[in-house]
Amino acid sequence: MGRPRRSLAPVVALTLMVAAAGWLVGAGRVAAMTSGPLDEAARQEDLVTLRLRLTADPLPRSLAPGAPSWQREQVRVTAQALRAAGVGGARPPPTQLDTPVVVLAPSSWAGLGPGTVLQAVGRLRLPSRAGPVAAIVLVSDEPRVLGRVPSLLAWADPPRRALRAAVAGLPADPAGLLPSLVVGDETLLAAGVRENLRRTGLAHLTAVSGANVAIALGAVLTLARWSGVRRWALPVLGLVTIVGFALVARPDPSVVRASAMGVVVVLGLLAGGRRGGIGPLALAVLVLLLIDPWLARSMGFALSCAATAGIVLLARPWARAGGRWMPLPVGAALSVPLAAQLACTPLLVAMTGELSMSAIPANVLAAPAVPVATVLGLACAGTGLLAPPLAHLLALVAMVPTGWIVLVADRFADLPGTVLPWTWGAAAAGLLAVLVVGAVPTVLRSPVLSAATCLVLGVLLLRPGFLSGWPPPGWVLVACDVGQGDAVVLRAGAGQGVVVDTGPDPTALDRCLDDLDVVSVPVAVISHFHSDHVAGITGVAEDRTVGSVLVAPYEEPSEQAAELRRWARATGVPVTVGRAGQRTHVGDVSWTVLGPTRIIRSVGSTPNQASLVLRAEVSGVSVLLTGDIEPAAQQALGFGPNVDVDVLKVPHHGSPDQDRSFLVATSPLVAIVSVGAENTYGHPGEDTIETLQMLGAQVLRTDVDGDIAVAVELDEPGASRLSVVRRRRAAGGRSPPAAVACSGAWLPRSHHRRR
């Protein structure tokens, strides 16, 4: 007899029931958000007095480089609005609420914790898109704390404080990573480390995920088994561990879903088969979506689900494959993050529009350190409550795995040629997934193939730029892609670079200098004090020495000028003021200060007009560095041989406001426009670009070409030629679709100027 045919009717009916339940719950949540008393006030942007209960820790705002300093000093925190009252007759009238909001507040809010009840005056605005909050509250005043709601979260504060205290005084980057890695506490995480983790596909380490829960649960259950705990006590202990971990890590939505996914992962691995994990995963997804329908549009939730599915389906067979010759725990430590990263890759391509080819090797190299650091961090949090010196000792040991993760992220952060834009990334992601799924078991079964793979990864770690030829041989100048701002590096010798302007973002400049292997900056030049030229100054001194700083004579805006002076005093770096006619020689670089010859106040921006203008010579290549000078200052320089150069850094990001006679007088072979993508200033101007092209210059712009290097090579005795090499980036959508990271062009050039 044949096998009885199963009816699909129950499956269809169950699917329709779940869909209907989801629709009803979602519609109810949307109605509550859009018809509540705060909605109309937010539409009118009313000023209201709110009583708030914070539901999470305040975190620094995530802003694009170059954002105003006052925004960078704000924090973002979720809260429940408990009461609202109008100010000066504004609506709404006094009313009791229980509505979720997001508060953007001064940095003085940073020390407040979940459960804090306070009163604040803020202006309401609608969220940019529908979501789980009713309004955005913009607050400019100090918080008026009314008290604290007793809760289990108060019990969870001491372990977090103990962990932060344990890492105090240790190396900043790995020490700041430990609390973030263990319980998602990013208060000590350096911005540069955060950016490197993001670029290498390791950002998931700073957010509490199912992997964190699984590691904590695995460590506790392993100790329990060694201690003789058996049978029903194990699942009870596991449940207590998950609840306790969720409280310490803060039970915000990401932690709650991580706890659920962590349980699914453990169930799947303990079940010993694929079917054991997918069923609980599907059930967990449905339950979480019914509880919080907004998760359906959350990329974080989708990534959690994908990572969990990858671990359940792939991690165990991969660990068994490696278990033929390596300890099973080592195989598991490698296979779990690799499976999670592979499963998340298609979603990451869809989310970011690019494929990071360095993510998988970076995750493989970082994977063994993650469980070690997590377990040590949890031990620090626990022992810090009873024996702080012991916790500090454990934290010191934890610096080894966290330092390794920081090193991996740093070395892979800007590995050229490893980021493919959407057009190539979408196809490559699918092909990569197929190849990896098929290749990983084969590699893990063979110690020879595994050793060869580790060798290749080690080479990439130690020499990340060897594949792309960056920086190019004989480079003399690099314009760093720092967004809407200027940052130029002149090669003064091996490991030395003179930096002219620092851009708006210290992290971007630090990364550019790292890629050029610059370990010493004899002089940093600040053409003027606008933030897009000076705000990145701290990136110059990141792990390198700075000899001195040369600044413009007009120290406005005063806030940025004072900030640079404070930084210089704190670091012991001398500051000198540039004057017209001043000559300086440092290694292979020499320059003359051409301007400002006088401070022009009558027209345009005075700080721009007062920019330092340098004519530099680098290994025989002449360069004109112009800051943001406008036509009046350009005319004041004159149109003589001093401005006739090989390479022109186009004034003011290629602004349309240029003196055409000045551009003609410079007559450059190469014109570099340092400009941010999709800026709102109209930079660069079409007329400016056309004028330079009519002069025969090769015009390059950092928003399209990325980092731009000018190199020189002897062509024949007494003659040389220039090479322009561009390293294009896909990050942030700044680069056009391109499968290669570097491209270049040769420009014929006599060793003596052709004019």
In a shared domain, residues 108 and 161: no
What pLDDT score was predicted for residue 632? Answer: 92
Which residue, chain included where needed, has tokens 């004072």? 562
The count of other CB atoms within 10 Å of the CB of residue 508 is 24
In a shared domain, residues 453 and 547: no
Contacts of 624 (CB under 8 A, 6+ apart): 613, 614, 615, 616, 643, 645, 647, 648, 649, 666, 668
Residue 713 located in a structural domain: yes
- The burial class, CB within 10 Å (0-12 / 13-18 / 19+), for 225 is exposed
In a shared domain, residues 501 and 604: yes
In a shared domain, residues 190 and 321: yes
| pLDDT tens-digit map of 505-528 | 898 898 899 888 899 999 999 999
pLDDT mean across residues, the chain: 78
| pLDDT tens-digit map of 428-473 | 555 666 666 677 777 777 788 877 877 776 665 555 555 456 788 8
Contacts of 39 (CB under 8 A, 6+ apart): 33, 126, 134, 135
CB 607 within 8 A of CB 554: yes
In a shared domain, residues 641 and 694: yes
Residue 374 located in a structural domain: yes
| pLDDT tens-digit map of 370-382 | 888 988 998 999 8
Q: Read off the DSSP letter of residue 130.
A: -
Q: Read off the DSSP letter of residue 311.
A: I
The whole-angstrom separation of Cα 237 and Cα 243 is 10
What pLDDT score was predicted for residue 666? Answer: 92
In DSSP notation, 657-717 reads ---HHHHHHH--SEEEE---TT-SS-PSPHHHHHHHHHTT-EEEEHHHH-EEEEEEEEEET
In a shared domain, residues 296 and 434: yes
3-state secondary structure of 734: coil
Share of the chain above pLDDT 90, in %: 25
What pLDDT score was predicted for residue 273? Answer: 46
Domain containing 92 equals 35-150
What pLDDT score was predicted for residue 753? Answer: 46
Which of 46-60, 133-147, 573-587, 680-694 has the highest average model confidence (pLDDT)? 573-587
In a shared domain, residues 234 and 94: no
CATH number at residue 514: 3.60.15.10
Q: Is the pTM for the entire model greater than 0.85?
A: no
CB 553 within 8 A of CB 576: no
Which helix (H) or strand (E) segment is 119 a member of?
A: strand 116-125
The whole-angstrom separation of Cα 156 and Cα 486 is 46
CB 293 within 8 A of CB 22: yes
pLDDT value at 215 more than 80: no
Domain finish residue from 132, 150, 168: 150
Where does the pLDDT of residue 712 fall: very low under 50, low under 70, confident under 90, or very high at 90 and above?
confident
The count of other CB atoms within 10 Å of the CB of residue 586 is 18
The whole-angstrom separation of Cα 169 and Cα 175 is 8
In a shared domain, residues 143 and 163: no
| pLDDT tens-digit map of 566-609 | 999 999 999 999 999 999 999 999 999 998 988 888 888 899 99
Domain finish residue from 462, 487, 521: 462
Rg for the chain, CA atoms, rounded: 29
3-state secondary structure of 263: helix
The whole-angstrom separation of Cα 179 and Cα 166 is 10
Closest CA relative to residue 37, chosen from 88, 98, 80: 98
| Domains in the chain, number | 3
Helix boundaries (H) for 61-190: 69-72, 152-166, 172-183
Domain finish residue from 431, 462, 493: 462
In a shared domain, residues 590 and 732: yes
CB 115 within 8 A of CB 157: no
Residue 26 located in a structural domain: no
CATH number at residue 139: 2.40.50.140
What pLDDT score was predicted for residue 355? Answer: 60
Which of 42-46, 97-101, 396-400 has the highest average model confidence (pLDDT)? 396-400
Which helix (H) or strand (E) segment is 621 a member of?
A: strand 621-625
pLDDT value at 754 more than 50: no
Residue 627 located in a structural domain: yes
What pLDDT score was predicted for residue 679? Answer: 80
The count of other CB atoms within 10 Å of the CB of residue 413 is 23
Residue 378 located in a structural domain: yes
Which residue, chain included where needed, has tokens 């197929």? 434
Residue 64 located in a structural domain: yes
In a shared domain, residues 173 and 138: no
In a shared domain, residues 381 and 272: yes
Query: Average pLDDT in the 642-670 region?
Result: 92
Of the chain, the end-to-end C-alpha distance in Å amounts to 96
Residue 21 located in a structural domain: no
In a shared domain, residues 368 and 385: yes
CB 65 within 8 A of CB 508: yes
The count of other CB atoms within 10 Å of the CB of residue 286 is 13
What pLDDT score was predicted for residue 49? Answer: 86
Helix 253-271 × helix 299-310 angle, to 10°: 10
Which of 192-196, 640-644, 745-749 has the highest average model confidence (pLDDT)? 640-644
Residue 29 located in a structural domain: no
What pLDDT score was predicted for residue 343? Answer: 78
